[in-house]
Amino acid sequence: MLTFVIIYYAFLILACCVAAYYKYRTALLLLFTLLCVSLISGLLFGAEVLVNITICVALLAAAAGLSYSFRESLIQVLPPEGAKLMRTAPLTASFGLLVIIAYVIAAVFAPLIAPFGEAEVVGGSFAPPDDVMLLGGDQLGRDLFSRLIYGARNTVGIALMTTAIAFIVGTLAGLVAAQMGGWVDQVLGRIVDTLMAIPQLIFALLLLTIVGTSVLNLTLVIALLYSPLIFRLARAVAGNIVVMDYIEAARLRGESTWYLITKEVLPNITAPLAAEFGLRFCFVFLAISALSFLGLGIQPPTADWGSMVRENATLISFGEVTPLIPAAAIALLTVAVNFVVDWMLHISSGLKE
């Protein structure tokens, strides 16, 4: 252990010096902060902390390296348009893309990847991880790893569909309100106000209790609850477009409202809407997980991450990390999507620095 500690500090100090000598400001600051943190936590908690820090840093470095090579290879592979876009992507965005692609692959090829079925009982309840069950078993002895893979399919698929419905409804209504103005705008606006006046989760619980829990109902209820937010955004951004002279020119030409909103306005607001889509997707995803956790979402034995957290929650008291794995899957996807959304927002804002 002593050798490790000595090597650890020697390496950090050396790296600091090199960074300082070659005037890499950011690198120096980062390394020096790390050195200080290690010194303090090492003194407080003993040398084991240093091992953990090393692992964390190594993981981060591995993620960064992976993202970097992923981005560079995309630049090489993609056609010129796409390559140009990718060159503007920060490492975080390419990391996000990579994670999203991994999730999509897991969702699409779930039956091929998962060693067992999603409802198949393999071992004893709360079986510890071994060669057969990579992450151990859940409370009924089903394979946690397989359920995690199937969960990607259910949770992500349903969230995607819900967000898509919310967007179609919200955007269309928002565009119509912005374009027609007058009483149409007023009526739609007040309906939306009413929907937004009731706390979302409680409203969702209420509606699901009334209509019953099925995947279809869940999708429609959450889509209904989220469409007002999209309505407001679409109406606001379209409001800046409908006053443009080219819209006036089209109106004077005698074009129909449908042509105006789909052909003239919509192409101009896709950037903010796409960014909002990513963000909203995360919220919908969390809402479904929350509802599943509360027992009103996706019903057993269908695997989904929200209910997996709930089912295994008892293990927390025994100091096990098992229930945190599906939670981590949720967190990772949310972070990844937000990285990509940030990048898209940056592009659509037109900033160059």
Partner 1 sequence: MSDQEKKSVLLEIKDLKIEGYSDEKWIEIVHGIDLTLHRGEVMGLIGESGAGKSTIGLAAMGFTRDGCRISNGTVLFDGMDLTTATRAERRALRGSRIAYVAQSAAASFNPAHKLIDQHTESALLHKVNTKSESEEDAIELYRRLRLPNPEEIGFRYPHQVSGGQLQRAMTAMAMSCRPDLIIFDEPTTALDVTTQIEVLAAVRDIVDQFNTAALYITHDLAVVAQMADRIKVLLKGDEVEEAETRKMLADPEEDYTKSLWAVRSFKREQKPPPAANETPLISVKNVSAAYGPVKVLDGVSFDIYRGQTVAVVGESGSGKSTTARCITGLLPPSEGEILYDGSPMPPRYQDRSKDQLRQAQMIYQMADTALNPKKTIGEIIGRPLQFYGGLRGADLKKRVDQLLDQIELEPSLYYHRLPSELSGGQKQRVGIARSLAAEPSFIICDEVTSALDQLVAEGILRLLDRLQKELNLAYMFITHDLATVRSIADVVVVMKEGKVVEMGPKDEMFKPPHHEYTDLLLSSVPEMDPDWLTNLLESRGVDNIGEAAHQKKA
Contact residues for partner 1, defined by CB under 8 A? 84, 87, 244-246, 248-255, 264, 267-268, 351-353
3-state helix, strand, coil in the chain (%, to 5): 80, 0, 20
Place of tokens 């927390």: 316
| Tokens, residue 101 | 């692609």
Checking phi first, is residue 254 left (phi over 0); if not, alpha (psi -120 to 50) or beta? left
Residues 344 and 278 sit within 8 Å (Cβ to Cβ): yes
Place of tokens 């409908």: 242
Peptide bond into 272 cis (omega under 30): no
Residue 135 vs residues 6, 13, 105, 151, 351: alpha-carbon distances, Å: 35, 39, 20, 14, 44
Angle at 53 between CA 48 and CA 58, to 5 degrees: 130
Checking phi first, is residue 99 left (phi over 0); if not, alpha (psi -120 to 50) or beta? alpha
Q: Residues near 14 by Cβ (< 8 Å), separated by ≥ 6?
A: none
| Tokens, residue 54 | 């090393």
Helix-then-strand count for the chain, H and E: 16, 0
Q: Which is nearer to partner 1, 84 or 190 (CB)?
A: 84
